[in-house]
């Protein structure tokens, strides 16, 4: 029998709150995490706002040696993971052993560590690089640090799927459990707000000056953010055996590639439509069962128009509520869809759709049922978390109230 | 994992380009370090004279034509060429047209460890020496780890899933498992599976700063992508099968305070898990294609684990011929194993004597931080 996969713990580091409760309260209130960036001199690049996490102190969550040796991206990931374990009621050693895996996503990982190494090399030559610092940079380190902290001994995978990385890791983690390859998986993603990435989006002319306004006719583009979202996923049998509080169920992931353009979604939205249909079909439901869609919602016209096509193609005339948390968080890149998956759990748990704040002017090209400016109560049994990414990546994960989805079926015989 | 047929192989390496040439060079059995280190195509003037084991005379134009290459970084070019070779070898695509299957049936699962390093270093150089305002936006997407794989799907019109894996040296073996999982869930009918790594100045400098070059097999470029298909489907259409992916295992052992932790415990568990998955007894392993590199701290851990798990099975060191290709390593070792199984191209052995016929191969990779992966390959029967 294929196991159901349950979310039993959540950990959040974000610009709108640290920890699940603060994050949920901010989502409901429509609180903005957008502030002037302080980590570097952003203003000289012509833009200065972002979803920067101002109150994260690694020492509040990590041991001294971890603070000393981990980059900020790993620090946030580990802090969020420890919160998630606590939220799941898992004490010391409860995530240890070969049946526990760690799957994490990111875009650039510990880019701060690399930046220091790179700048030393560029300005002073190779002599300036201290060899012990070199192994501290590797994208593969995110899950290693988490597995190390928990004593997990299963697979430790990094899936650097850019802005879809959170969905990739959560979706694949659920696949692992359903396939019987793991009983529990710590999954999520982490990203730091970094100067090079900030400059890159400014140069691509994709960065808004002050606000991210998805689906608004007068949108000006994205704002970058940072943070970490980590979830504890457990098999039904493990969760029930230990009497775990079950927060939500993870349905199927839909996953495709546009094969069209490296930074722009396919104009027909074929890949995104197909991924959403896969997530629906493989979860054993129909589009009529979906109550809410968390949009990728970056605030670029290309994205918003493509997602509008997706909604029309998948749901027809049915106006399913849709919203973008990026209006509050900024675009947290690799961490985005992990944080938003946690936001989807908020919707399922509280029956509240988070708002798209800053919405002013409807866009005739984006005729969607937007949850504009204020959160809205509504039916929330099954939601979809949509994500798109550089490289033409599309990933959609279905999340549901526990027990609502049909029994999962296995894969090929 | 389910038994999966390998129906095509694309490979570019420091030994040469394309399967036939690489296999022929493997047959020569000359350690890479004994071969001339050619002048570098990628390193700056300060290092070019030292030479580097890159893909010799790599010319993407030969495979891809002249247009559209300017903004692609080296890894992207290498992976697209490798993918094109693999798809042609499997008879899926030829001259840009799908001969069988549809674009939405074919995807990619590919490992690289430091794929975006070249682009990040390039933009950091501009930002540091000039100003962040002057970075080239067209090169910015290359700073994102999965972009190279994304470009493969764009160039080859592959519209099934595209997954980048970044797990260091075990990554390309992990890619096979991840591909199998996705295929089991009906997300693709054929997947390009493997990994690659290319030379860049930052990587070369880091390797040398760690003091690896005089100790270990040399750092080298390489990419290998196998076309993986359901075994029944491949047999059903009478496709030539180069080998069968039969089992996978992976494990992690938490290090103590030290970050670097080559773990014999994780390696042994990964091997046992892969053998169980493939339903292969330790005594049935004809050959282990290990990841040993000449660094005793790592080799001792890997070899002791292999000995504990499969006894006195002969152990080969494919990296002596192909170099250390990091994120591509497991894929290069898999290609070398196929070379031996399919075309009797022997690899240098560090332990034991190989039987005349090699039917079951265990490929192992030990990560530097406590992880390890293993893959079981069987000869096509």
Check whether residue A142 and residue A209 sit in a common domain.
yes
What are the distances in angstroms from CA A158 to CA A308, A396, B146, B187, B329?
A: 31, 18, 11, 20, 17
**Cβ neighbours of residue B147 closer than 8 Å, sequence gap 6 or more:** A162, A262, A390, A391, B76, B116, B141
Write down the pLDDT at residue B13: 97
- Give me the CATH number covering residue A343: 3.40.47.10
Average predicted confidence (pLDDT) for chain A: 96
> What residue numbers bound the domain in which A77 lies?
5-241
A181, A199, A392 ranked by CB distance to B127: nearest: A199
- Is A371 within a domain? yes
CA distance A146 to A90: 14
User: A33-42, A193-202, A402-411: which has the minimum mean pLDDT?
Assistant: A402-411
Quote the CA–CA distance of B296 and B324 in Å, as a whole number: 15
Confirm whether pTM is higher than 0.80: yes
- Say if residue B339 is in the same domain as residue B271: yes
Residue A21: φ, ψ to 5°: -65, -45
Q: Are residues B227 and B339 in the same domain?
A: no
* Pick from A114-118, A176-180, B243-247, B288-292: least confident: A114-118
Q: How close are the terminal C-alpha atoms of chain B, in Å?
A: 19
Residue A411 domain-assigned (yes or no):
no
Cβ neighbours of residue A118 under 8 Å, at least 6 residues apart? Answer: B120, B121, B124, B125, B128, B202
CA atoms within 13 A on the CB side of A401: 14
For residue B120, which residues of chain A lie inside 8 Å, CB to CB?
A: 108, 111, 114, 118, 196
Identify whether residues A214 and A114 lie together within a single domain: yes
Number of Cα atoms under 13 Å in the Cβ half of residue B23: 17
B175-194 tens-digit pLDDT = 999 999 999 999 999 999 99
Domain boundary among B212, B236, B260: B236
A163 given a catalytic annotation: yes
- The verdict on residue A69 lying in a domain is yes
- The alpha carbons of chain B give a radius of gyration, in whole angstroms, of 20
State which of B236, B263, B297 marks the end of a domain. Answer: B236
Of A241, A271, A299, the position where a domain reaches its end is: A241
Residue A48 lies in a domain: yes
pLDDT at residue number B45: 76
Q: Write the DSSP string, A196-221.
A: HHHHHHHHTT-B-SS---TTBTT---
HSE-up of A17 (CA within 13 Å, CB side)?
A: 19
Q: Does residue A368 fall inside a structural domain?
A: yes
Q: Which of B236, B271, B294 marks a domain boundary?
A: B236
**Residue A228, Cα to own-chain centre: how many angstroms?**
8
What is the C-alpha separation between B367 and B260, in angstroms, rounded?
A: 9
Nearest to A412 among B103, B184, B205 (CB): B184
Q: Note whether B378 and B244 are within 8 A (CB).
A: yes
Same domain flag for B232 and B306:
no
Domain coverage including residue B94: 4-236
Number of domains in chain B: 2
Query: Do B80 and B113 fall into the same domain?
Result: yes
Q: Are residues A222 and A262 in the same domain?
A: no
Helices (H), B90-187: 117-129, 147-156, 171-184
Query: Across-strand partners of A13?
Result: A18, A228
Residue A35 pairs with which residues in a beta bridge?
A: A50
What is d(CA A113, CA A125) in angstroms, rounded to the nearest whole number?
17
Nearest by CB: A148 against B127, B165, B254? B254
Distance separating alpha carbons of residues A238 and A246, to the nearest angstrom: 11
C-beta of residue A237 within 8 angstroms of C-beta of residue A27? no
- Smallest CA–CA distance, residue A369 to chain B, in Å, is 29
Give the domain CATH number at B270.
3.40.47.10
CA dihedral B229, B230, B231, B234 (to 10 degrees): -60
Please tell me the predicted confidence (pLDDT) of residue A196.
92
Picking from A191, A223, A241, the residue at the C-terminal end of a domain is A241
Q: How far is B58 from chain A (nearest CA, A)?
A: 24
How do beta strands A292-294 and A321-323 pair? parallel
Domain count, chain A: 2
CB contact under 8 A, B143 and A197: yes
pLDDT at A413: 44
Residue A284 lies in a domain: yes
Q: Are residues A32 and A179 in the same domain?
A: yes
In this structure, the answer to whether residues B350 and B204 fall within a common structural domain is no
Q: Which of residues 212-251 of A touch B (CB under 8 A)?
A: none
- Do residue B200 and residue B278 come from a single domain? no
Q: CA A71, A76, A82: angle at the middle one, nearest 5?
A: 125
pLDDT band, residue A412 (cuts 50/70/90):
low
Looking at beta carbons, which residues of chain A come within 8 Å of B133? Answer: 44-46, 199, 203
Torsion angle defined by CA atoms of residues B206, B211, B215 and B217, in that order, rounded to the nearest 10 degrees: 0
**In B10-52, alpha helices (H):** 19-28, 45-48
In sequence order, what are the residues at sequence separation of 6 or more whose Cβ sits closer than 8 angstroms to the Cβ of residue B19?
A: B9, B10, B11, B85, B89, B335
CA distance A73 to A104: 11
Contact B104, A274 (CB under 8 A): yes
Place of tokens 């000449």: B294
For A355-364, A367-376, B49-58, B97-106, which range has the lowest pLDDT when averaged over its residues? B49-58
pLDDT in tens, A232-279: 999 999 999 999 999 999 999 999 999 999 998 998 999 999 999 999
**Which H or E element spans position A328?**
helix A326-329
ipTM value? 0.97
Q: Which residue has the higher pLDDT, A356 or A44?
A: A356
CA distance B303 to B316: 11
Output the tens digit of pLDDT for each of chain B's 381 residues.
999 999 999 999 999 999 999 999 999 999 999 999 888 888 877 777 778 899 999 999 999 999 999 989 999 999 999 999 999 999 999 999 999 999 999 999 999 999 889 899 999 999 999 998 899 999 999 999 999 999 999 999 999 999 999 999 999 999 999 999 999 999 999 999 999 999 999 999 999 999 887 888 999 999 999 999 999 999 998 999 999 999 999 999 987 778 899 999 999 999 999 999 999 999 999 999 999 999 999 999 999 999 999 999 999 999 999 999 999 999 999 999 999 999 999 999 999 999 999 999 999 999 999 999 999 999 997
Beta bridge partners of B317: B290
Are the C-beta atoms of A384 and A400 separated by less than 8 Å? no
Domain match, A285 and A189 both: no
């Amino acid at each position: 029998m294929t196991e159901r996969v349950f979310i039993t713990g959540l950990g959040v580091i974000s610009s709108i709150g640290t920890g699940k409760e603060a994050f949920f309260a901010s989502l409901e209130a429509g609180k903005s995490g957008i502030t002037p960036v302080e980590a570097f001199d952003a203003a000289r690049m012509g833009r200065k706002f972002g979803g920067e996490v101002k109150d994260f102190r690694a020492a509040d969550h990590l041991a001294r040696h971890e603070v000393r040796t981990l980059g900020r991206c790993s620090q946030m990931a580990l802090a969020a993971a420890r919160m998630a374990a606590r939220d799941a009621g898992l004490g010391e050693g409860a995530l240890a052993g070969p049946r526990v895996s760690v799957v994490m996503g990111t875009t650039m990982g510990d880019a701060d560590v690399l930046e220091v190494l790179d700048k030393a090399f560029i300005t002073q030559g190779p002599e300036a690089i201290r060899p012990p610092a070199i192994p501290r940079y590797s994208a593969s380190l995110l899950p290693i640090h988490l597995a190390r902290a928990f004593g997990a001994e299963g697979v430790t995978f990094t899936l650097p799927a850019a802005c879809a990385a959170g969905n990739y890791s959560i979706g694949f983690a659920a696949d692992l459990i359903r396939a019987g390859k793991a009983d529990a998986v710590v999954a999520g993603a982490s990203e730091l707000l970094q100067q090079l990435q900030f400059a890159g989006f400014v140069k691509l002319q994709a960065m808004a000056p002050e606000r991210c306004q998805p689906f608004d006719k007068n949108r000006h583009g994205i704002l970058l953010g940072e943070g970490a979202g980590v979830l504890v996923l457990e098999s039904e049998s493990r969760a029930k055996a230990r009497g775990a509080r079950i927060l939500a169920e993870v349905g199927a992931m839909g996953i495709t590639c546009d094969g069209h353009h490296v930074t722009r979604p396919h104009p027909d939205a074929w890949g995104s439509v197909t991924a959403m249909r896969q997530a629906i079909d493989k979860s054993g439901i129909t589009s009529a069962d979906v109550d809410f869609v968390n949009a990728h919602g970056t605030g670029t016209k290309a994205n918003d128009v493509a997602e509008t096509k997706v909604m029309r193609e998948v749901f027809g005339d049915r106006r399913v509520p849709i919203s973008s948390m990026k209006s509050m968080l900024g675009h947290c890149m690799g961490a985005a869809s992990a944080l938003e998956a946690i936001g989807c759990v908020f919707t399922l748990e509280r029956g509240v759709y988070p708002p798209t704040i800053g919405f002013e002017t409807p866009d005739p090209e984006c005729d969607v049922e937007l949850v504009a400016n204020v959160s809205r109560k509504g039916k929330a049994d099954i939601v979809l978390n949509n994500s798109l990414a550089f490289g033409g990546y599309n990933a959609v994960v279905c999340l549901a109230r526990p027990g609502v989805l049909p029994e999962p079926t296995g894969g090929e015989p | 994992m389910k038994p999966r047929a390998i129906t095509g192989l694309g490979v570019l390496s420091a030994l040469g380009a394309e399967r036939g040439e690489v296999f022929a060079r493997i047959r020569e059995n000359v350690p890479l370090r004994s071969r001339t280190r050619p002048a570098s195509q990628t390193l700056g003037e300060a290092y070019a004279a030292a030479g580097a084991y890159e893909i010799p005379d790599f010319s993407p134009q030969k495979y891809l034509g002249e247009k559209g290459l300017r903004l692609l970084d080296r890894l992207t070019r290498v992976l697209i060429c490798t993918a094109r070779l693999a798809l042609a070898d499997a008879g899926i695509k030829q001259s840009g047209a799908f001969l069988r299957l549809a674009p939405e049936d074919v995807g990619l699962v590919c490992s690289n460890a430091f794929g975006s390093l070249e682009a990040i270093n390039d933009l950091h150089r501009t930002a540091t020496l000039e100003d962040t305002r002057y970075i080239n936006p067209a090169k910015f997407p290359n700073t994102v780890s999965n972009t190279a794989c994304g470009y493969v799907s764009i160039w080859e019109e592959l519209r099934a899933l595209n997954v980048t894996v970044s797990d260091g040296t075990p990554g390309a073996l992990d890619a096979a498992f991840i591909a199998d999982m996705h295929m089991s869930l009906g997300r693709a009918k054929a997947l390009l599976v493997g990994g690659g790594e290319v030379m860049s100045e930052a990587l070369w400098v880091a390797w040398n700063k760690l003091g690896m070059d005089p100790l270990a097999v040399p750092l080298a470029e390489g990419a290998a992508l196998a076309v993986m298909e359901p075994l029944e489907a491949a047999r059903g259409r009478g496709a030539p099968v180069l080998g069968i992916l039969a089992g996978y295992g992976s494990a992690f052992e938490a290090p103590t305070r030290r970050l670097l932790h080559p773990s014999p415990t994780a390696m042994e568990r990964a091997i046992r898990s892969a053998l169980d998955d493939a339903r292969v007894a330790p005594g049935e392993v004809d050959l282990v294609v290990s990841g040993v590199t000449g660094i005793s701290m790592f080799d001792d851990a890997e070899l002791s684990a292999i000995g504990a798990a499969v006894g006195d099975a002969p152990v080969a060191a494919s990296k002596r011929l192909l170099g250390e290709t990091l994120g591509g390593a497991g894929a290069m070792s898999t290609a070398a194993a196929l070379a031996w199984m399919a075309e009797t191209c022997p690899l240098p052995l560090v332990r034991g004597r190989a039987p005349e016929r090699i039917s079951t191969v265990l490929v192992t990779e030990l990560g530097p931080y406590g992880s390890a992966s293993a893959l079981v390959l069987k000869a096509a029967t």
